[in-house]
Amino acid sequence: MTLHLRPIQFVDTPVDRDGAVARLAGGMLWFSAYEVIEDGRRRTVPVAELGPLLRDERAASLHAAITAPRAPLVLGERTLRFDQPMVAGILNVTPDSFSDGGAVHDDPAAAASAGVAMAEAGAALIDVGGESTRPGAATVWEGDEIARVVPVIERLARSGTLVSIDTRKAGVMEAALGAGAAIVNDVAALLWDDRALEVVAKAGCPVVLMHSPDPAKGGHGSVGYRDVLLEVFDWLEARIAAVVAGGVDRSRILVDPGIGFGKSLSDNLALINGLALLHGLGCPILLGASRKRLIGALSNEAPARERLGGSIALAMAGVAAGAQLLRVHDVAETAQAVRVWRGLRDRALVGR
């Protein structure tokens, strides 16, 4: 089994802890130890005692990736920085999304207005999608998907709003990027469409690679994990390498553990609890847990529109693990929670 490192024992401030703590991904969190996972065994190594561990090439590489600042994304006149958590607003222009489909899917002007409102409420990015990826959803013809998303993206781009396109299809990626989208967010990690990697590499745009057990078939296949956290890490590590080999700059890759995609309740909880391990991939982490089924499973089967509290709880669990981007439906509430967290961190960083 390959060695893995998970940052643990986070501290409220690095003040007066020189040499005893390490900064996580250039952000606002510091940790004082690693959980070292190797050959089925787990042990704790304090940051102050890392010397012997870092003589191992794999461990040294992971430590460097975990502690290196994430490069900002310069996207035209906009810059996304990853030194503090940000919110991405979900804008579905589909009639059948599990949570909010149908609200604005046939009115591009209303959809764009909703996106601008999310940006004003604190979203750094608006993620526009024209095809539902819920279990059992029908595949949308490429032409219909383009017709849904392009008029909305054009309006958002003209307003100065930063946009990502949530799609698996190369043709939709091309049309969306041409309309003003700046980022591709693919739940299939560029594996559903044979041309997708080529399109992203040629465009030079950032891309979000999400884990799922069967991305070429839809992402919701059933699979039994021996250790979901390590298996998701290894899958994403291999996928990043393949995408880089295909011509995409590593600094323009983000990763998503794929909460709810081919994973049980136990799997999803383990991924969120262990999320900090994914910093070893060296890429910004996007967490998309908003209104997901696991919240209903833990709260008397609350329907999707009644999962705000659970969504905030999962978002803040992600923030506490260093996730840089939170993909959410409830932008104003999540952005407020992040601002309060930021205030707490700012106070901690000036010492006691």
Q: Which of 6, 327, 339, 345 is catalytic?
A: 327
23 tagged catalytic: no
Q: How many residues does the chain have?
A: 352
Tokens 């190594």 -> residue: 45
From the number of C-beta atoms within 10 Å of its C-beta (0-12, 13-18, 19+), residue 127 rates as buried
* Helix segments in the chain, DSSP class H: 57-67, 108-120, 142-158, 170-179, 196-203, 228-245, 265-273, 293-297, 308-320, 331-348
What lies within 8 Å, CB to CB, of 262 at 6+ separation is 212, 213, 214, 219, 220, 221, 222, 223
**C-alpha–C-alpha distance, residues 213 and 217, integer Å:** 9
Q: What is the amino acid identity at position 64?
A: A
Which of 239, 292, 342, 352 is labelled catalytic? 292
Q: Is 248 helix (H, G, I), strand (E, B) or coil?
A: coil
- And the tokens for 255? 């990763």
Q: Is 155 a catalytic residue?
A: no
Q: Are strands 41-46 and 30-38 parallel, antiparallel or unpaired?
A: antiparallel
Indicate the angle between helix axes 228-245 and 265-273, nearest 10 degrees: 70
Query: Which residues are part of the catalytic machinery?
Result: 292, 327
